[in-house]
Amino acid sequence: MGFLFEDGNFALFRDGFLQTIELSALSALLALLLGTLLAAFRVSPVPVLRAFGTGWVTIFRNTPLTVLFFAVTFGLPPLGVHFSHLVFAVLALGSYTAAFVCEVLRSGINTVPIGQAEAARSLGLTFGQTLTQVVLPQAARTVLAPMSSVFIALPRNSAIAGAFSVSELYSAQQTFSERGYSIFAIFFWVACAYLVISATVALLFRFLESRLAVAR
Amino acid sequence: MSKPFTRSTTAGVLFDAPGPKARARNRIFGVLSLLGIAGLLWYVFDALNDNGQFDAALWDVFQYTAIQQRIVDGLVSTLEAFGLAAVFSLVLGALLAAGQLSEHKPVRWVCVSVVQFFRAMPLLILIVALYYAFFAKEPMWALVLGLSLYNGSVQAEIIRSGVNAVPRGQGEAAYALGMRKTQVMTGILVPQAVRSMLPTMIGQLVVTLKDTSLGFIITYHELLFVGKAIATQPLNSAGFPYIPVVLVIGPIYIAMCLLLTALARWIEARGRRGANRRTSAAA
Amino acid sequence: MRTRRTFAVALCAIALTATAACGKDGTPGASNTSAGGSAAPALPTYTVKTDVKVDSAVLAEAKKRGQLLIGAKSDQPFLGWEDLASGDRSGFDIEIAKMVAADLGFTPQQIKWQTLVSSQREPAISKGQIDFYVGTYSINDERKKSVSFAGPYYVAGQDLLVKADNTTITGPDSLNGKNVCTATGSTSIKNIEKYSPKITQFDTYSACVEKLMSGEVDAVTTDDAILKGYASKYAPKLKVVGQPFTKENYGVGLNKDDKALRDAISDAIKAHQDNGDWKKAYDATLGLSGAVAPQPPALDRY
């Protein structure tokens, strides 16, 4: 267990930890924005946009994340898109998670009482206004629980980026095992790091839930 | 309360049946976004084409029967790992769920921590650690065990919430009839929970299927491993066919997952019909 | 009831198209990787020894199994290459593996190859997934903590692979701030770090070469032997800089505690170096990339 504090191993571990957090945070942001947009597409009055939303969700939810990483890291450069590998990872992870965010939001929208939207419309609000000012804020409350499992899964999924040239916790684990340390000791520390991350995300959502809770 | 003018419940809640003006506006939006999407697709196609990604030389690999055979073998390995992991994760899920609902505090405590631990652990880290520590000779078992531990924990959570969602009267009635805890669980609560949670459970099986692709990192010869070999060992010097491989392997995964989802719908529909039959017979 | 039947029909249709799609004809085996045509030097053949007496646990197991499990790379032209259409392995590392196997009493048909990337080598060897590993495996002290090495059978030097029209990268000193790709778990990373480039890592060198060709990285660094293979396979597009700045002794990696097997493999390498097989194998593989055969290295027994 003590190996972590020798030979600059801690710096590697810390950098990996921070990189995992950075990657997860950026991907979460992208997933949230893109997912909300896609959910809006999926409930919009324009059939083309609905079809686009459905197509996106079908493709991205049913493709393994590893295949998606391959597609992004080796498929975008030939298209003339050149980014750092961190950005590639954010794109892959973000657009994958966006599909799940979209589905959670959509089912949340379905749980908002019909009367709310009807009342908003009778007040003369447009589709965009109804969605952003009346329906989504209410949906946000009911989707918090399923949303939290999506965002707890995100840092976990981010480990795959380690196999695609992002120096995060998984690649730190690889480097340690190449340096010949016991796999059990390595696993212990890496596991701790991930438990801390997922516990933090869970707490964050618990806090949000208590903030958004209303007496019904 | 019925809304005769709306098309579907999802969409209909949020906007009125469009009048002539709105219809025209929607049509403009539709055409614009169609143009946008088509333009993007065309750009992608054009850039790939300019880049030579559709050259016959890059796609040539897929013509060889030996390579087709490899893809089929990879597919079989993927399904093999998936089948084992699916069975083990369901069994483990049932056991852990039972443990989480146990009346004995230590059992409950152990099961809850096991579930929470494996749910928080990245599957990749788990599989690689299992491979290095125990299964270097048999990478398939590292993959299957990793998948089972992780997905088993998730299935346990699903089953547990399903059991908790069964109306309380069901359990109380069973106890009142003098059934023991095990009987109540296995005979009354779990069957109802499984039925209501079946779509979610099969949804998790789709995740299991997708995650078998992590096997390529630990030398398990599944579909993605084969795909990667095809991409990195080109038969000619035209370049590495990464994009052709993604365009072939990706749809195979998507098709498998969609089939599994369709199976879920079918089972769900069957279950519902069965329930109806019973109620009508009782009535 | 009707929907159910429609669904079943749809399922059958999908299944049918799926199976029909696999039925396309093809002609495997038409390999064009061994460039050089009829003028290419022939590969040597090795006589399989029959009464091998080596007191090795690993070998005893392999005898019982009737198969020798050898780990190798599969994506390095002229070194460790697997032709996917025919399933044939070729290259200098593969020849070394075959000559060693012959001296241990195994025919080429009795070899079961296992493709392993750099970072998988130590666990695979120490846990017995393979009997030994032949694949551009540099001997160093850190690795000797978990595996042992027979050989060296070849001496390479770390070099740089760049696009053919690149004139700015002339050696390791010109790498400052440049984007350089190499493989996870290789010695090349440590050697290049002191020239302060930006490092990109993938599990295989072929991924790096792809990144070089698509312009994502400026150079690929690893041993010259590997790079020469890629340079000649993708002939006019890439070139090797030709300023090797390290010395890498390639060894056969095997179980740390099996001294008997280590000695037997070293003996086999020595014997084939002396009878000329080593040079013939070199000429028919690495030699095709244009480099003249060097003197075989002296063995380092321990």
Average pLDDT, chain A: 87
Count how many Cα atoms sit within 13 Å of the Cα of residue A180 in the half-sphere of its side chain: 10
Distances, alpha carbon C155 to alpha carbons A96, A129, C224, C287, C297, in Å:
46, 71, 10, 14, 7
SS3 of C43, please? Answer: coil
Residue of chain B whose alpha carbon sits nearest to that of A51 = B34
Task: Kindly list the residues from chain C whose CB atom is less than 8 angstroms away from the CB atom of residue B141.
Answer: none
Tell me if B65 and C26 make a contact (CB, 8 A cut-off): yes
Tell me if A174 and C202 make a contact (CB, 8 A cut-off): no
Distances, alpha carbon B274 to alpha carbons B165, B197, B278, C2, in Å:
20, 16, 6, 16
Tell me if B219 and C82 make a contact (CB, 8 A cut-off): no
Nearest alpha-carbon partner for C206 in C120, C35, C28, C82: C82
Residue C2: which pLDDT band, with cuts at 50, 70 and 90? very low
Angle CA(C254)–CA(C257)–CA(C260) in degrees, nearest 5? 80
Query: DSSP characters for C11-35?
Result: HHHHHHHHHHHTT----TT----ST
Predicted confidence (pLDDT) at residue C33 exceeds the cutoff of 50: no
Pairwise CA distance, residues B226 & B67, whole Å = 9
- Structural domain boundaries of chain C? 41-155+250-289, 158-240
Mean pLDDT confidence for B238-247: 86
**Which amino acid belongs to residue C145?**
K
Q: What is the pLDDT of residue B16?
A: 67
Pairwise CA distance, residues C55 & B37, whole Å = 68
Distances, alpha carbon C162 to alpha carbons A27, B120, C210, in Å:
33, 42, 12
Tell me if B67 and C14 make a contact (CB, 8 A cut-off): no
Pairwise CA distance, residues C143 & C231, whole Å = 29
Tell me if A117 and B14 make a contact (CB, 8 A cut-off): yes
Q: What is the pLDDT of residue C48?
A: 81
Task: Kindly list the residues from chain C whose CB atom is less than 8 angstroms away from the CB atom of residue A179.
Answer: 142
Distances, alpha carbon B31 to alpha carbons A42, A46, B28, B39, B99, in Å:
17, 9, 5, 12, 56
Pairwise CA distance, residues A65 & A76, whole Å = 16
Task: Kindly list the residues from chain A whose CB atom is less than 8 angstroms away from the CB atom of residue B232.
Answer: none
Pairwise CA distance, residues C289 & C225, whole Å = 9
Within-domain flag for B40: no
Tell me if C4 and B68 make a contact (CB, 8 A cut-off): no
Mean pLDDT confidence for C235-262: 86
- H helix and E strand count, chain C: 10, 13
- Percentage of chain B beyond pLDDT 90 is 27
Pairwise CA distance, residues C36 & C31, whole Å = 12
Q: Note the maximum CA span of chain A.
A: 69
What is the residue range of B110's domain?
57-266
**Partner chains of C (3+ C-beta pairs under 8 Å):** A, B
Run of H or E including C90: strand C89-90
Nearest by CB: C82 against B136, B233, B266 = B233
Residue C17: which pLDDT band, with cuts at 50, 70 and 90? very low
Query: Which of A37, A44, A48, A54 would you mutate first to test chain B, the one with the most B CBs within 10 A?
Result: A48
Q: What is the pLDDT of residue B80?
A: 93
Nearest alpha-carbon partner for A173 in A191, A158, A155, A157: A191
Within-domain flag for B210: yes
Run of H or E including C72: strand C68-72
Decide if C14 touches B, using CB distance below 8 A: yes
Distances, alpha carbon C73 to alpha carbons C57, C137, C186, in Å:
25, 10, 13
A85, A88, A94, A97: CA torsion to nearest 10:
-90
SS3 of C163, please? Answer: strand
Count of domains in chain B? Answer: 1
Within-domain flag for B213: yes
Q: Which tens digit of pLDDT belongs to each residue from B141-177?
A: 999 999 999 999 999 988 888 888 888 888 889 889 9
Nearest alpha-carbon partner for B142 in B224, B207, B208, B219: B219
Decide if B141 touches C, using CB distance below 8 A: no
Within-domain flag for B256: yes
Q: Which tens digit of pLDDT belongs to each residue from C52-85?
A: 777 888 888 888 888 889 999 988 888 888 888 8
Nearest by CB: A165 against C122, C200, C214 = C200
Within-domain flag for B126: yes
Q: In terms of residues, how long is chain C?
A: 302
**Exposed, middle or buried by CB within 10 Å (0-12, 13-18, 19+), for C143?**
buried
Pairwise CA distance, residues C125 & B219, whole Å = 13
- Sign of the C-alpha dihedral computed for residues B151, B156, B161 and B163 taken in this order: positive
**Partner chains of A (3+ C-beta pairs under 8 Å):** B, C
Q: What is the pLDDT of residue C31?
A: 41
CB B214 within 8 A of CB B145: no
**Partner chains of B (3+ C-beta pairs under 8 Å):** A, C
Task: Kindly list the residues from chain C whose CB atom is less than 8 angstroms away from the CB atom of residue B242.
Answer: 210
Residue of chain B whose alpha carbon sits nearest to that of C71 = B219
Residue A185 has which token pair?
């000791």
ipTM of the complex, rounded to two decimals: 0.85
- Structural domain boundaries of chain A? 2-212
- Percentage of chain A beyond pLDDT 70 is 98
Distances, alpha carbon A153 to alpha carbons A28, A60, A97, C160, in Å:
11, 15, 9, 40
Residue of chain A whose alpha carbon sits nearest to that of C181 = A165
Q: What is the pLDDT of residue C143?
A: 85
Q: What is the pLDDT of residue A179?
A: 78
Decide if A183 touches B, using CB distance below 8 A: yes
Any idea which architecture A2-212 has in CATH? Orthogonal Bundle (1.10)
Task: Kindly list the residues from chain B whose CB atom is less than 8 angstroms away from the CB atom of residue A150.
Answer: none
Within-domain flag for B106: yes
Residue A73 has which token pair?
């890291």
Any idea which architecture C158-240 has in CATH? 3-Layer(aba) Sandwich (3.40)
Residue C173 has which token pair?
């000193």
Mean pLDDT confidence for C190-204: 84
Predicted confidence (pLDDT) at residue B277 exceeds the cutoff of 60: no
Q: Which tens digit of pLDDT belongs to each residue from A31-50?
A: 999 999 999 888 888 888 88
Run of H or E including C98: helix C92-103
DSSP single-letter state for residue C120 = G
**Exposed, middle or buried by CB within 10 Å (0-12, 13-18, 19+), for B217?**
buried
Any idea which architecture C41-155+250-289 has in CATH? 3-Layer(aba) Sandwich (3.40)
Within-domain flag for B26: no
Tell me if C122 and A178 make a contact (CB, 8 A cut-off): yes
Decide if B235 touches C, using CB distance below 8 A: yes
Task: Kindly list the residues from chain C whose CB atom is less than 8 angstroms away from the CB atom of residue B237.
Answer: 233-235
SS3 of B91, please? Answer: helix
Nearest by CB: B235 against C84, C128, C203 = C84
Q: Are strands C68-72 and C198-202 parallel, antiparallel or unpaired?
A: unpaired
Q: What is the pLDDT of residue C121?
A: 86
Tell me if B133 and A184 make a contact (CB, 8 A cut-off): yes
Pairwise CA distance, residues B190 & C293, whole Å = 72
Q: Which residue has the higher pLDDT, A12 or B51?
A: A12
CB B253 within 8 A of CB A85: no
CATH code at position B248:
1.10.3720.10
Residue A141: which pLDDT band, with cuts at 50, 70 and 90? confident
Contact residues of C toward A, CB < 8 A: 119, 122-123, 142, 145-146, 184-185, 200-203, 207, 210-211, 214-216
Task: Kindly list the residues from chain C whose CB atom is less than 8 angstroms away from the CB atom of residue A174.
Answer: 119, 184-185
CB C123 within 8 A of CB B217: no
Q: What is the pLDDT of residue C88?
A: 86
Within-domain flag for B18: no
Pairwise CA distance, residues A90 & C51, whole Å = 59
Residue B78: which pLDDT band, with cuts at 50, 70 and 90? very high
- C41-155+250-289 and C158-240: same fold? yes
Task: Kindly list the residues from chain A whose CB atom is less than 8 angstroms away from the CB atom of residue B44.
Answer: 79
Task: Kindly list the residues from chain C whose CB atom is less than 8 angstroms away from the CB atom of residue B235.
Answer: 31-33, 83-85
Pairwise CA distance, residues C285 & C279, whole Å = 10
Residue A214: which pLDDT band, with cuts at 50, 70 and 90? low
How many contacts, defined by CB atoms under 8 Å, are there between A and C?
A: 32
Q: What is the pLDDT of residue A21?
A: 94
Angle between helices B105-120 and B65-100 (to 10 degrees): 150
Residue of chain C whose alpha carbon sits nearest to that of B238 = C234
Nearest by CB: B253 against A63, A121, A174 = A63
Decide if A205 touches B, using CB distance below 8 A: no
Pairwise CA distance, residues A89 & A209, whole Å = 29
